[in-house]
Amino acid sequence: MSNSTPTSPGQGRGRNLSIDDYNVYDDAKTYYTAEDRHHNHRAGARTRTYSQNSLFKQFERLGLKEPYRRGSHDETTIPHSRRFLIQVEPTLQSLQSQEDTDGNMQITIEDNGPKVLSLRTAASNGYNRFDIRGTYMLSNLLQELSLAKEYGRKQIILDEARLNENPVNRLSRLIRDHFWEGLTRRIDASSIEIAARDPKDWTDDPRPRIYIPRGAPEQHEYYTKVALERPELRLDVLWLPEKITPEIVRDMNSKPGLLAVDMEEVVDPKTGEKTLRGRPFVVPGGRFNELYGWDSYMESLGLLVNDKVDLAKAMVQNFCFCIKHYGKILNATRSYYLCRSQPPFLTDMALRVYDKIKHEPGALEFLRQSLLAAIKEYYSVWTAEPRLDPVTGLSRYRPEGLGVPPETEAGHFVHILEPYVKKHNMTFDEFVRAYNHGDIKEPTLDDYFMHDRAVRESGHDTTYRFEGICADLATIDLNSLLFKYETDIARTIRNVFHDKFEVPDDWLATNNPNATKLETSAMWDRRAKRRRLAIDKYLWNEQAGMYFDYNTHTREQCNYESATTFWALWAGVSNPKQAAAMVTKALPKLEAFGGLLSGTEESRGEIGLERPNRQWDYPYGWAPQQILAWTGLYRYGFNEEAERLAYKWLFMITKAFVDFNGVVVEKYDVTRPIDPHRVDAEYGNQGLDFKGVAKEGFGWVNASYIYGLQIVNAHMRRALGTLTPYETFMKAVEENRNKALSELV
């Protein structure tokens, strides 16, 4: 896929576009704020020659073409440059009243309007009309009119090419030009009022609050000044305690707050004085304002394809700040997450960014800082107590913490805690306080919450795979990621830092005796070798042809069949024989209509009222599982399988995007061909509740779309644009192949 603006079939032939030419596919802000573009004099009614009409001149230069359409009321319009003269508000109202029959501010295949709306053509000065037909074009019209209204336009001249745009091009363009921007945040004075206010704040006096680590006094000074200059914010600026323990985090829960992330020094253009500005980062979905862990890595893959390298780099720098000051990449940057991490991807993320910037000044220092952070995280988090299992040498998701996780929905643990509340003859709140502070000892509850915290650290919250056992599991996902850290660090020390890498005191992990001031590649090669042997011994199952988690408490291999088995391919853990076995045995069990399932139906087990579905189980599919599997399969030469899985996932997203008003959501039911975005398990789905036009999609799904288009071949991309299901596409490919063969005979 090209990173340049998608073009229509005829564009790019003939003369080069000049900067004065309007681009039909400009981003909405450019498109709807250009005054000239929407004045009717530029689309006058003369249609005798191109030269007498500036609009047609532009279109001749653009060389725009459009697919053949049915006849219309206006046969005089030049077919390759159709534009509509639209009064925004009245057209929006008639479109909604006629086509949005369920009144949800979206036009989808579930609405039962006539699916046709007549628009006035610009070339005839509004005299002639042309019919817009079908769900896709009408929903695009709704989206464009919603945007035009937002930008304050009363009247627009709208290119038909924005309504019948190839859906793959349209979604790619929206992700690049709109969705990333809608999901980008900076934490500083410009945003602190919203960002530091926590929608989960459970206290009697919710207010914006930010914690500053002792190592960032300049930020404390900055935010204190903001709080003094803007008292109406009621911004509470607090020092973070120097030593973070589960007890301290529990006590901070009475004052939950945002955690500071990295800032850069800039000159204020208004005052000419030096000030601080937050480094940007991308959040998972529109309702979030804090930096998340593994979501950020997945998002960076899409950002790099879209040439948003600075943004991906800034996210790595934010992670380095977190490791330096908080000891880990956090689940998210809120005070109640201080004990909890998420799946580690920092080395791959930093190396991908470095590969794009290595010829720029400061690139080597960026990589050095990233490597220091990753090494510290490896030693102090993943290969230290309590996450390290000393018997196997493998690691587990096993965060520290005390009591009931405060950030969950109010009623989330009622059914678990109710029996204990009755047993101790207390009110619910009294029991929670007494239990959290150790006044009441309940070892069974301690175990329950230890595993609950581990599930949240794993990123797979929640799944029956981890129910009641997560903190005891050496999982294939985590140990694959750590193997990747080991091999990445070894290779980088050897190839970039001449096989000697010095670790200054302020980056040294003090809680792990293996941490040294001088790192060499041989040390990391040995670690990778040991981990691969342990993975083969404890996690690989020859008979099943896949990896399973290992329970370090019962000393038994589990039997839940999970898509995370393919993470071993992504990390390069498997030998060729194991990779082939996974493709032969595991892949058929985990492949569905829309790509990879999180796990098999058999592993999930029966569901019902007493045992409801979990979002990380069958039948749901998630972007990270797809991305890592595609990359892993490609790594081992299984290109056809990678392309097939990518095609299925992209087709499902594109089809839902076309049929349901441009929807892009957090996760999909990969067994549902018609409405895969409908997910009713647990927390429902993020990205559904927009009015008129979707602004953000969902972070890692946006990335999977952009990244997936790199995986599929050119034929596949064209077939996706015409919404051709995979089986139909392959049948056509086969027929073409046979035809070509028969002609050779």
* Full 3-state SS string of 378-447: HHHHHCCCCCECCCCCCECCCCCCCCCCCCCCCCCCHHHHHHHHHHCCCCHHHHHHHHHCCCCCCHHHHH
Q: What are phi and psi of 274, to 5 degrees?
A: -75, 140
Give the SS3 label for residue 641. helix
CA distance 406 to 449: 11
Nearest Cα residue to 191 out of 208, 203, 206: 208
The H-assigned helical ranges of 43-191 are 54-62, 88-99, 135-150, 167-174, 180-183
CB atoms within 10 A of CB 112: 9
Q: Which of 262, 348, 407, 461 is catalytic?
A: 461
Nearest Cα residue to 304 out of 348, 344, 353: 353
- Give me the long-range contacts of 519-528 (CB less than 8 A, separation at least 24): 519/375, 519/489, 519/493, 520/493, 521/490, 521/491, 521/493, 521/494, 522/490, 523/490, 524/486, 524/487, 524/489, 524/490, 524/493, 525/486, 525/487, 525/490, 527/486, 528/483, 528/486, 528/487, 528/490
The DSSP H or E segment spanning 264 is: strand 263-267
* Full 3-state SS string of 266-327: EECCCCCCEEEEECCEECCCCCCCCCECHHHHHHHHHHHHCCCHHHHHHHHHHHHHHHHHHC
Residues contacting 481, CB < 8 A, separation 6+: 343, 344, 345, 567, 571
The DSSP bridge pattern shows strands 258-259 and 209-212 to be parallel
Q: Which of 74, 591, 666, 696 is catalytic?
A: 666
CA distance 587 to 641: 9
Type of residue at 63: G
CA angle 276, 279, 280 (to 5 degrees): 135
704 and 186 in contact (C-beta within 8 Å)?
Answer: no
Give the SS3 label for residue 247. helix
Residue that is written with structure tokens 């053509």 in the block: 121
For this structure, is 461 an active site residue? Answer: yes
Bridge partners, 502 (sequence order): 518
CB atoms within 10 A of CB 149: 17
Which residues are identified as catalytic? 461, 666
